[in-house]
Every structure is written in structure tokens, then in C-alpha cells.
Amino acid sequence: MAKMIDSLLQGFRLHRLNRLRDQRSFLENYLPILVKAIRDREARRTALWNERAEAALRGPAILADIATPALAAEKQAALAKIEERYRWRFKALAQSKKRALERSADPAVETTFAHRAEELESRKRQTLTKCALRFETPLERSQSDLAAAKEAYRLKSEAVQAKAEKRLTLEKAKADRSVAAKTASYESKIALLGNKIEAVRGVLIARRSADADSMMPEDVLLSVRNLSMRFGGLLAVDNLSFDVRKGEIFGLIGPNGAGKTTIFNCITRFYRATAGEMLYRKNAVEVIRLNDYPVHDIIRQGIVRTFQNVELVWELSILDNLLVAAHTVYRTGFFGQLFHTPKLRREEEVMRAKAFSVLNTLGLLPYAFAIPYGLPYGILKKIELARTLMAHPRLIILDEPAAGLNDKETEELAVLIKKIRDDYHATIFLVEHDMGLVMDVCDTICAISFGKKLALGTPAEIQADKLVRSAYLGEES
Amino acid sequence: MTTLRLSFDRIRKQLASIARHPYFGFLAFGSILVVLRLLAIGGVIPNSLMKSLVITMIYAIIALGFSLLLGYGGLASLGTAGFVGLGTYFIGHFSGTLGYPFAATLLISLLGAIVLGAIVGFISLRIEGMYLAIITLGLSEILREVFKSFTAFTNGVNGLGFRDFALFGLPVSDTAVDFIVIFVFILIILGTLNIIKSPTGRALLAMKNSDSAAQSMGIGLMKYRLLAFILATIYAVIGGLLYMMDQQFSIPTTWSLDFSLNILAAVVVGGAQSITGIILGTFMIFGLNMTVLKEIAFFREYPDATWIVSGLLIILITMFYPGGLIRLIQAIRFWLVKTGKKLKRKWRIHRYGEDD
Ligand SMILES: Nc1ncnc2c1ncn2[C@@H]1O[C@H](COP(=O)(O)OP(=O)(O)O)[C@@H](O)[C@H]1O
């Protein structure tokens, strides 16, 4: 009885720990987005004030015959626009002339058109002069008047500059204050959560029953024990055991039909294993039996898988596909979604930022808004990989990631797999047919044949193993 | 003056950003409907046209619910009619015969919809595809038998009338009902838009594409199948409530397979995933003959021939635009832009000669 209550309490603590962690990770991720929004607003307002200052100085500058850079640029643009307009008019004239000449070879035509061209030319000159005048003072003035205007401009520009500077410093101070306040408040919240997390974790670890450790050594993430899977008369997996250690890249190899996919489907609970159990270290204090979880809860334990034949949502953009993979991370309930509450919007922003960072890591940014239809197979495979990174994975299971890829893409994939392991601190379990890839990236390999384990060891050991060689040579010959 | 230009620029930018908001088009559409209704009061447009538009809106609400099921969840159902019928009897019986306040009726209807939707959702976990469609059809037929025989609730085959509808103790006129329908229609559109643009909408699409992939991403089939069916049923029941307010009469023969098939056709013809497409599709299936064809002398003489037109349109559109009307509209828009560009280029060459 006491033991049951104890385990119940531990369960509550774990639940609380996870919630606190979620909250903390949300705050941590949302802060940069908030800061960026404040800075963007500051930049927008700064640009606005600068524009206003320029606009206020325009009149006095014209009066004082001073070509400020802004004025000069504006004048040049206006003149260029007129030039362009007349260029088209001249082209139209040339075209009419050509057509008129086609109709009749009268020499009068030539002269008429020469005349019209001259007229157009003079009109153009007039327009240009008039336009230029807009940027000069129209008044006939004595030297002293001009000097006075220049002085007025100087005063005005000083005043405007002082005002703009004041505004800009105010704007900057406001943004800084706002950023500082938000950062401080978020950081204090994060620190508070951190303390709570530590406290709960402390209790959890202190009360941890000895079972967890006795069940599984500390550094093992997944332990498959005496797994068997029977399809009717066929024993596809036969009493198989192996351990996957934290942070390693573990490869499961075997000839076609050896039972690799079946093992994989047992771990991810698509198949119900006939016998045996799969233990998984969910976190520092908890070891769970995967046998007790339904398929759609596996990802919540931190186990994510890919599919051999790419399974994307074809109607959604790549970005949205990544958001689908983050499904379990969302905390907003149905009604929050129905009304698109600010909470949902904040969550969406955090997820999108995360998705962009994942896409960036895998070099997929150019495809963020593309629809998967018609993208190259290599890219689709990478998107599958990207999806696994959205839901805080601890164990990533890849089903024949190299299938259908050419040699170059396979090499890229090897680099990527290592990168994912290092950047996302995940353990990788890969089921593969391509020996090159497996030998290249894996730390430990388990070779099976007809559902039975042939050998388990480092790539070098596997390559030297007699049984493995015969199984593979047997297949290949 | 320059300052003025600057502020104009800013206002223009802001207006443009408002116009880009996904709600904007639908809110504008709603305003147009309100204006049309006001014009009908003023006698500028015929009342009968407005009546047809209102009933089309009610059908569009039902179709939107169905699209969440078919277009997003990938689940087939032929039970729509029964659920809509149930909605009409809920309001007819509780608010009409028994005189309950509308809030109570609404609560009962929503609860009824949730229970029924959940039942069908559970069935959908075991039975899929065509068989599911047949089972829902059976359910709908059972409901129809219930409508026929439970005369205390439905007044049987003679049909149930519903007059003197009151909200908060105030009598609601026919005109007011039209405004209510427009209001609910726009609300439902916005709600649907929110759902499909949220994790739930994406989860439904994921489930439609592949059950196993969806599950491996933590999308529980049970939760989302139930949700899809409950939502579709709620939309249908709300459609039924509005139908009764508008038509003031409900009879079992209306709630037959025909009705469900018409809703299915509206969704498929419109484009199963686009709200605009579904509104267009519903208009084509239900609204077209009531508003346009009815004005043509030939169809006035042979009213049933309008179904031939609908049928032909369905065949043509599904043959040439399997993605639905919305694809046709996109194609037309694309063609217009392209032709516009081509014409402009031709004119340029004519006026200015070949490019240099
Ligand atoms: N769902 C199933 N029903 C019946 N037999 C199956 C099923 N899945 C796999 N098998 C059988 O199990 C054996 C192992 O298959 P599999 O795990 O796909 O091998 P691998 O992935 O190594 O190629 C094969 O003989 C296959 O026919």
C-alpha cells in the first residue's frame, strides 16, 4: 500500500516536473522573439522620425539653395523619371514614323516627323527645366537674402537635428527599457521555475526507488530484452536482446526479410510484441516499459521515428509539416485554437522560430514555404529528418534513411546524422541496408538474420565477424 | 506637403496589411450580404432572391462541417441529413412545442450533437472508408424512421411547423432571422478558418494523409476522429436550427439520402479544403437553380430540369478540375493575369516597336 502511494506521488512529481520544464522552455524560447519584436518596432519608428526630419528640412533647403544629399537624390530620381517617359515617347514617335513611311514614301512625311521630333525634344527640355526648378529657390534675391536663408536653414537644421536626436534617444531608451524589463521579468520567472524544477527533481531523485537502476544501467537509453514477434507460423523476431547507450549511433543491420522493420515497429508500438519487453530511460529518474504505451504516446516519451517511404502531409508547406511534428509540444487546447487566443499565437511563433532554426541546420531554408509535391527525393528525406527534431527527441529512430539516395546524398546524410546527434544531444537508432553508411556513422552495430542476433559490436568487429560475413556473402552470391 | 505624403504612404501600407489578413475577405463578404439584405428591405432586390441566398448560407454551414470531415479528416459520411433533421426537430420541439427558452434548446442541441458525433466517431475507429459511409447512411435512415414515427417529438410524416420564434422573450421577425443567419454564417466561417489554421487542422490533415505517420507524431486517432465527427455534427445541427428558423417547417422526406449527397457534391465540387471553394460549391448545387435558373422561362416550365444542369456542371467540373471549383477560379485568375500581360506586351510592340 505504502509503495503504491509512493509511486503515485512520484508520478505526480514527474508530471509536475514535465510541466515546469515545458513552461521554462516556452519562456526561454519566447523571450528572443519578444525582444526582436521590440527592436523591430524601434527600427520602424527610427526610420519614421528620420523621414520626418528630412521632410521638415526640405523647404528651407530649397529656399537656401542647398543641395542636401536627400534633395539631390530626390531631384535625380525626378529627372530620371522624366527622361524615361520621354524615351518611350520618342520610341512611339519612331514607330509611327516607320508605319507612316510604310504607307507612303512621301518626302513630306520625313519633314513632318523631323518637326514633331524637334517639338518633343523642346517639350522634354522644358519639362526637365521646370522639374529642376522645383528643387531650386524660385525667388530672385539679393546676396544678403540668400545669406539670411542659409542662416535660417542652418538654424532649422540644427533644431530639427536636435529634435530628431532627442526623439531617437527617447525611442532607444524606451526600447531598451522595455527589453530590459521583459528580460528581467522573464529571467526571474525562468530562474524561479529553475528553482522549482531543481526542488522537484531533488525530491524525485531522493525518493527514487532502487528498481530503476537495478532494471537498467545508468548509461543505457533503450534496452530490448528477449523480444519475439510471431506472424502466424512465422517467427519474424526470435528472442532478441540488445542495449542502446545514451548518445551513441546504433545501427541494426541484416539482409532483406531479417526482421529489422519488425523490431522497429515493435519499439514504436505499431506491432504488439509477442514476448519480451522494451525498457526505456525516460529521464534521470524514470525507466518505463514501452510495452505499456500506445503508439501515439511514444513521441511524448521522446522517441521519434521516420518512415522509409516518405510520409509527409502533401497539402501543407514544409514549414507547416514541421509544425505538425511539433504537435505534442503545443499546450493550447481546442477552444484556444478555435478563438486563436494570444497564447496560441505566441506558441505558434515559438514553434515557427524553432522550425526555421531546424530548417537552417539542415540547409532546407529555401524550401520553407514550398509544397512537398515535386521536390527531389533527397530533399524529402531531409524533411523527414527535420521533422524528428521538432518534439524534443531523445531517441531518433531512422528507418532505412539511405534507401533511394545516391552516393553523394548518402555521404551528406552521414554528416547530417552525426551533426544531429551532436547538436540536439539525441541518441540515434538506425535500421539500414546500406553497409557503407552504417560502417561510416555507427558506434555500435547489431547484425541479425532471420530474426536472430548474429553479432553485436563496433563496426570493425562486425566486419571481421565470420557469421555476419557468411550471412551477407550468402545473400550476395 | 511632403509630410502629408508620408502619412498617406503609412495609411496605405496599414490598409494593405489589413486587407492581407485572412479574415478580411470573409468579413467583407459578410458586409456585402448584410447590405444585400438591407437592399431587399428597401425593395431594390427581390425578396425571393434573398430567401434563396439565406438558405444557401445555411447549407454552406453544413457543408463546411462536412469538409472538416472529408477534406481534412479524410472520413466519409452519408449521415449529414439525419443530423440536420435532428437539429430542426430539436428547435421545433423544445422551443416550438414545449416553449423552452432558446438557450436551453441550444444546449440540448449541442449535447445531442456531441453524443451523436462521438458515437459515429467511435464507429469510425473500427470501420473505415466506404463501409463507414454506409453505416452513417444507415444511421441517418434510422433517424429518419424516428422522425416519422415519434410523432410526439416530430409530428410524424405531416411535418412539424415552427412559428413565433422568440429570443430572450422578444419575437424574432423573418428579417431578423436572415440577419441571424448571416451573422452565424460568418462566425462559423471564421471559426472554421481558425481551426484549419491551427494544430488541430494540421493534425486532421496529417491523419488523412497517413494514419501511421500521424500516430507516430503523437496525433491520437481516437481524439481526432471523434473531434472531426463531433464538429461536423455540431455544424449540421446548427444548420438544422437555422433551417427551422428560416423555413419554419420540417418534414422527414427532406432528410433523405438526396440531401446528404447534395452536401457531399457541394464539398467535392467546391474543393474539399477551401472555404471559398465550399461556399461556391454550395451556391452551385443549391443556390444556382433558386436564383438564376428559376428566372429562365424554360426552367420555369420544367423545374426538374435544373437538376440536369447541376448534374452536368458536377460532371464537367470533376472531370476537368478534380480539385474543385476553387481550382477553376484559380485557373481563370491565372489566365486573366497571363492574358493581361500578353495584351500589354502586344500593345507595347505596336506602339513602341520591338524592345531594344
Ligand atoms: N505485418 C506482417 N504480417 C505478416 N508477416 C510480416 C509482417 N511484417 C513482416 N512480416 C514478415 O516478417 C519478416 C521480416 O520482415 P521485415 O521486418 O520487414 O524485414 P526487414 O525489414 O529486415 O527487411 C518477413 O519474412 C516478413 O514477411
Quick one: which of B177, B315, B179 has its CA closest to B246? B177
Q: Does B202 touch chain A (CB under 8 A)?
A: yes
Atom 24 in ligand 1: residue holding the nearest Cα: A257
Reported as a single tens digit per residue, the pLDDT across B113-135 is: 999 999 999 999 888 888 999 99
pLDDT of residue A109: 84
**String of DSSP letters for B142-183:** HHHHHHHH-HHHH-GGG-EE--S-EETTEE--HHHHHHHHHH
Residue B354 has pLDDT above 90, yes or no: no
Domain span at A397:
214-473
Bigger pLDDT: A150 vs B228: B228
Distance from CA of B20 to the nearest CA of A (A): 17
Answer whether residue B151 is part of any domain: yes
The answer as to whether A412 is a domain residue is yes
Q: In angstroms, what is the span from residue A433 Cα to ligand 1's centroid?
A: 15
Per DSSP, chain A holds a count of helices (H) and strands (E) of 14, 10
**H or E segment to which residue B62 belongs:** helix B47-67
**Is the predicted pLDDT of residue B3 greater than 70, yes or no?**
no
Within a domain: B337:
no
Judged against a pLDDT cut of 80, whether residue A154 lies above it is answered with yes
The residue to which cell 434563396 is assigned: B52
**What are the C-alpha distances in Å from A31 to residues A52, A87, A346?**
32, 54, 11
Work out the percent of chain A whose per-residue pLDDT is above 70.
Answer: 97
B213 close contact with A: CB closer than 8 A = yes
Q: Is A298 on the interface with B (CB under 8 A)?
A: yes
Tens digits of residue pLDDT in B155-196: 888 999 998 788 887 888 889 999 999 999 999 999 999 999
B-chain residues near A297 (CB < 8 A): 218
Q: Which of A239, A301, A307 is nearest to A273 (CA)?
A: A239
Best mutation site among A238, A260, A261, A430 for ligand 1 pocket (most ligand atoms within 8 Å of CB): A261
Min Cα distance A367 → chain B (Å) is 19
Question: Is there a domain that residue A293 lies in?
Answer: yes
Q: What angle do CA A315, A319, A325 make, to 5 degrees?
A: 85
CB contact (8 A) between residue B212 and residue A307:
yes
For residue A171, the model assigns a pLDDT of 92
Round to whole Å and give the CA distance between A369 and A391: 20
Task: Find the residue in A nearest to B5 (Cα).
Answer: A55
* CA–CA dist A188, B169 (Å, integer): 53
Domain assignment present for A365:
yes
**Residue B213 and residue A311: Cβ atoms within 8 Å?**
yes
How many Cα atoms sit within 13 Å of B260 on the Cβ side? 25
Q: What is the pLDDT of residue A58?
A: 85
Find the residue in A nearest to B352 (Cα): A92
Residue A128: closest CA among A85, A92, A91: A85
Atom number, ligand 1, closest to the C-alpha of residue A256: 23
- pLDDT over threshold 70, residue B211: yes
CB-CB under 8 Å, A304 with B351: no
Quick check: A417 and A249 in contact, CB under 8 A? yes
ipTM value: 0.88
B7 touching A, CB under 8 A?
no
DSSP A352-413: HHHHHHHHHHTT-GGGTT--STT--HHHHHHHHHHHHTTS--SEEEEESTTTT--HHHHHHH
Query: Which tens digits make up the pLDDT trace of A408-417?
Result: 989 999 999 9
Number of structural domains in chain B: 1
Q: What is the mean pLDDT of residues B69-80?
A: 92
pLDDT at B236: 97
CATH number at residue A416: 3.40.50.300
Is the pLDDT score of A425 beyond 70? Answer: yes
pLDDT single digits (tens) A202-261: 888 887 766 656 677 888 999 999 999 999 888 999 999 999 999 999 999 988 888 898
Q: Are A297 and A310 in contact, with CB atoms under 8 Å apart? A: no
Our count of domains for chain A comes to 1
CB contact under 8 A, A337 and B353: no
Residue B216 contacts A, CB cutoff 8 Å: yes
CATH number at residue B303: 1.10.3470
Query: Of all protein residues, whose CA lies closest to atom 6 belonging to ligand 1?
Result: A231
The DSSP symbol for B294 reads G
Tens-digit pLDDT profile for residues B214-258? 999 999 999 999 999 999 999 999 999 999 999 999 999 999 999
Kindly report, residue by residue over A61-97, the tens digit of the pLDDT: 888 888 888 888 888 999 999 999 999 999 999 888 8
Question: Which residue of chain A is at minimal alpha-carbon distance from B188?
Answer: A338
Q: Please write the tens of the pLDDT for every residue from B305-316.
A: 878 888 888 889
Contact A327 B217 (CB under 8 A): yes
B323: closest CA of chain A, how far (Å): 12
More confident residue, B29 or A288: B29
Confirm if B139 and B127 have CB atoms less than 8 A apart.
Answer: no
**Residue B278 is assigned to a structural domain of this protein:** yes
What the block records as the C-alpha cell of A387 is: 521533422
Residue A209's pLDDT is: 66
CB neighbours (10 Å) of residue B335? 10
Q: Does B46 touch chain A (CB under 8 A)?
A: no
Beta bridge partners of A398: A430
With beta carbons less than 8 A apart as the criterion, state whether A153 and A66 touch.
yes
Residue A190 lies in a domain: no
Alpha helices in A1-142 (DSSP H): 2-63, 69-103, 107-133
How many whole angstroms from A277 Cα to the centroid of ligand 1? 19
pLDDT band at A465; cut points 50, 70, 90: confident
Whether residue A296 and residue B221 make contact (CB cut-off 8 A), yes or no, is yes
Range of lowest pLDDT (A103-112, B205-214, B294-303): B294-303
- Contact assessment for residue A255 and residue A435, using Cβ atoms and an 8 Å cutoff: no
A:B CB pairs within 8 Å = 106
Cβ–Cβ below 8 Å for A340 and B194:
yes
Per the DSSP assignment, residues forming a β-bridge with A227 are A240
Ligand 1 site: residues with CB under 6 angstroms? A 231, 234, 236, 254, 256-262
| Interface membership of A270 toward B (CB under 8 Å) | yes
Measure in Å the smallest separation between the Cα of A93 and chain B Cα atoms.
8
The whole-number pLDDT of residue A477 equals: 37
What's the whole-number mean pLDDT along residues B61-87? 94
